A = this chain, B = another copy of it.
């Protein structure tokens, strides 16, 4: 096998979670997934499609109806600087957000290309360019008093003429860091100068807790033109409680779409029609499903982060977006050891910061997507006991 693949880091989240396998006394908050099943109306759409026998190959880029549904959904949220919105010919349906990211990296990154990733971040974003043989550089956010921040000047200086691709995820997993429109404009301006592509993982855009007009976090689609070198990745997983469906999409410049169709053919061929039918219905009901998810998540966030902020010695901030509390206990600098001890000694399952980048060593990620907010408080009690408070 390729040494590149052998050297890909195994998930430190799985590493910790494996230590708790088979223990039903563990309160697990390690994975980025709600514990609520997909809404019934969405499941029914897939069931009906299966009943009808829609079990054949579909178009590489997705069902016409779903691509147009996505385009309308995105246009409502992001009319863009010229009001052009997102045309359906810029949309491809993919086997989840992670697959959309991988396809974009395949489309853009040659071996030895210079690729810049902002970290801490979901480890898949770092692994994908590595699989393609890229020369990877990371630029770390800085934690100041529990809040992770971007040094914009440092980022702009790190985007070089030879930089092929900038990869970022905001609202960010795990830190909750979000980008503002002024920052996005500055980054786009710099990338236009250098010819650098931007791959923006915006799957958490709808899980945004600040009051806004379009009910979502700032997006690169708000500042870019359709032909900019920008790929924006989305997923039904978080905003529609559809993690297990493996259904997502990407928005790209129209000139890229034909090649993306080929890449989908060579990676997965297409997404199942019955899953796409569920996606169509999920978007039709987005104005019921997502606000309910978000308002419940906000209660979860306020409950968990509020309680953690009252724990003496912990350092964290209230995240504006996403579904994670990210915190540390100063003086305790090994998150993997802490997370393993928390599983073994306290029955509390968290993800170690090290999974997301070395600069997050000693931090812990807590997914607060929980049907029962009381479950989060029980977790905080376990944490406090373990801390001997």
Contact = CB atoms under 8 A, between A and B. Distances in A.
Nearest to A128: B266
Contacts of A54: 37, 244
A2 interface: yes
A146 to B, nearest CB: 29
Nearest to A7: B259
Interface in A8-62: 8, 10-11, 31, 33, 37-38, 43, 46-47, 50-51, 53-58
B244 A4 contact: no
Contacts of A128: 266
Given A110-B4, A265-B124, A268-B95, A243 B57 contact: yes
A144 interface: no
Contact of A124 (B98, B111, B131, B266): B266
Most buried by B among A37, A133, A244, A272: A244
**Most chain B beta-carbon neighbours within 10 Å: one of A10, A112, A258, A274:** A274
Interface in A193-232: none
A63 to B, nearest CB: 11
Interface in A75-120: 95-96, 98-99, 102, 106-112
B51 A37 contact: no
A66 B55 CA distance: 20
Given A50-B46, A55-B38, A98 B268 contact: yes
A107 to B, nearest CB: 5
A263 B1 CA distance: 12
A1 B104 CA distance: 9
A65 to B, nearest CB: 16
Interface string A119-157: 000001001100111000000000000000000000000
10 contacts: A37-B53, A43-B53, A46-B50, A47-B51, A98-B269, A111-B133, A127-B266, A244-B272, A246-B270, A268-B268
**When A and B form their complex, which 4 residue pairs have the shortest distance between CB atoms, in order from nearest?**
A37-B53, A111-B111, A38-B55, A55-B244
